[in-house]
Amino acid sequence: MERTNSKRLDSFELTIADIAEADLDALHALSMSVGWPHRAEDWQIVLELGKGIVARDAIGRVLGSAMWFNYAPDFTNIGMVITSPRLQMLGAGQWMMNHVLAQTSSRAIGLNATRLARRLYASLGFVAERTVYQCNGEAVAPPQGLLPPGARLRALTSDDLDEIAALDRAAYRADRSHVLARLLEVSKGVALVRGERIVAFSLCRRFGRGHLIGPLVAANDDDAIAVTRPHVVDHAGTFLRLDTRQKSGAFAEFVAQAGLPVYDTVTSMSLGRPWLVEETGGETPIIYALVAQALG
Ligand SMILES: CC(C)(COP(=O)(O)OP(=O)(O)OC[C@H]1O[C@@H](n2cnc3c(N)ncnc32)[C@H](O)[C@@H]1OP(=O)(O)O)[C@@H](O)C(=O)NCCC(=O)NCCS
């Protein structure tokens, strides 16, 4: 495994540095160079939540990035892997990934791979598991729908953190409390309540070109639709995005009818052990929408 601290690529001499020391504007410019919609504020949040590296050239310019988010002692999620277009296909991606894998040591890993990155990860031993459908577009207010029997909707507050973190943990099978705590500060949240218990929730925040719904955790399509509808109504006529692994069924149909067709796909891949269980719905909560492709 190649893991030296500097590497000559074509005419580029790259060195690895901690992403925490990188300039936010340089990271923002890097993601824009590959057509990603992240705003500087979106970068700020991932930087607060994870660790990472950048690849710099001889005069300090940031030409690559990679991050990892340690959600459990035995599990991490990798994201924000980018190499500048003028540097692609020269081995920088693989070189950065080898640095990341050295840092994440024995942890099992999950990530969502773009088409461009899939072969790179496969060559490192990652196994493809599921497709993620990136659905976005101009939101269309859906017809009013009935709530599932015995359920009511209410707004989430920061007091709900423990309860939604437990629901998210049951679905994601790692603790993302710190992620949810940070997202609650910048999101509008909706809970579906049965009795006194939150059985489904969704957050919606500004991201990229508009707003993004995620995470969304629910046990079945009807509950998932109930916590999605209010955000679609709120953002009707504007750009809205949701990343889901639901290919078909009532939820997927609802998302398409809400003006959010499938725009692109990425592939959830894992290293070390299988990441995603078969999501059948029913009683067990599942991840209906991702926090972000980088954050799982
Ligand atoms: C995906 C991405 C990070 C890959 O980075 P990269 O620096 O091009 O990666 P590498 O050069 O290490 O490897 C890419 C391919 O080039 C090949 N390659 C490496 N060195 C090469 C060389 N000297 N000549 C020709 N091909 C070469 C690699 O074998 C690899 O192909 P393979 O995976 O089929 O084996 C980069 O394309 C990118 O930033 N894309 C846009 C953002 C994105 O999609 N990020 C992924 C998020 S999951």
Residue 9: the pLDDT is 73
The overall average pLDDT reported for the chain is: 95
Q: Is the dihedral of CA 44, 45, 46, 48 positive or negative?
A: positive
Nearest CA to ligand 1 atom 30: 120
Residue 145: the pLDDT is 87
pLDDT at 117 over 60: yes
Residue 270: the pLDDT is 98
Q: Is the dihedral of CA 166, 168, 171, 176 positive or negative?
A: negative
Residue 115: the pLDDT is 95
Nearest CA to ligand 1 atom 36: 83
Cα 54 to averaged position of ligand 1 atoms, centre (Å):
16
Residue 84: the pLDDT is 97
Beta carbon of 64 within 6 Å of any ligand 1 atom? no
Beta carbon of 19 within 6 Å of any ligand 1 atom? no
Distance (Å, rounded) from C-alpha 206 to C-alpha 255? 18
Locate the ligand 1 atom nearest the alpha carbon of residue 80 and give its number: 47
Reported as a pLDDT band with limits 50, 70 and 90, residue 12 is confident
Beta carbon of 123 within 6 Å of any ligand 1 atom? yes
Residue 178: the pLDDT is 97
Both tokens of 111, joined, read: 């990530």
Instruction: Name residue, tokens 């799982």.
Output: 296
pLDDT at 159 over 80: yes
pLDDT at 121 over 80: yes
Reported as a pLDDT band with limits 50, 70 and 90, residue 101 is very high
Residue 280: the pLDDT is 61
Residue 279: the pLDDT is 62
Query: Which of residues 99 and 11 earns the better pLDDT score?
Result: 99
Task: Give the single-character DSSP code of 274.
Answer: -
Three-state DSSP at 272 gives coil
Nearest CA to ligand 1 atom 7: 93
Cα 52 to averaged position of ligand 1 atoms, centre (Å):
18
Distance (Å, rounded) from C-alpha 47 to C-alpha 199? 30
What domains can you pick out in the chain, each with its CATH number?
6-106 (3.40.630.30), 134-289 (3.40.630.90)
Reported as a pLDDT band with limits 50, 70 and 90, residue 227 is very high
Residue 144: the pLDDT is 87
pLDDT at 236 over 70: yes
Beta carbon of 119 within 6 Å of any ligand 1 atom? yes
Cα 48 to averaged position of ligand 1 atoms, centre (Å):
27
pLDDT at 169 over 70: yes
Global pTM?
0.94
Residue 283: the pLDDT is 81
Beta carbon of 128 within 6 Å of any ligand 1 atom? no
Cα 84 to averaged position of ligand 1 atoms, centre (Å):
10
pLDDT at 1 over 70: no
Cα 153 to averaged position of ligand 1 atoms, centre (Å):
46
